[in-house]
Amino acid sequence: MLKRTVITTFLLICLGIVSGCASQETRLVNGKQNFMLGDYHQAFLQLQPLAVKQNPDAQYAVGYMYYYGLGTSQNTTIALKWLESAAAQGQPQAKQALDMIDNREVVNEPPQNAVFTNVPPNYDAEVAAAMEAEKNQ
């Protein structure tokens, strides 16, 4: 009976881990799709938690959005943090972006962002609080 309970508990834990991975993968795909559709705000909300959890593709995307102010306020300091973290994990686009920034090949004006031009002033604080709450769950 004890052996059965241990096996059942182990299987439930494994299923929880797998479903967590699946939801992260879904979030990454949805975030990328929203980014490509120009829904930068939604993309940011989907990708930021994954960036916090060390996903290099999400870190690159979040860094890019911070760099140009897409779906979030523009902040090159935070952008560089995310890009450097992604590059350190081998994300090739992040490495290329950092090289371009170092060589001053990047246009410092953000591309047109007709979808979200007005980000609420407390937006970053709300996202940070949400990310911290999710991280602590």
Please state, as a whole number, how many other Cβ atoms lie within 10 Å of the Cβ of residue 32: 16
Cα 107 from chain centre: 22
What mean pLDDT is predicted for residues 1-24? 50
Rg (CA), the chain: 18
Chain segment 88-102, per-residue pLDDT in tens: 999 988 898 888 888
Contact partners, residue 127, CB within 8 Å, separation at least 6: 44, 45, 48, 72
What mean pLDDT is predicted for residues 114-131? 43
What is the average pLDDT value for the chain, to the nearest integer? 73
pLDDT of 34 reads 86
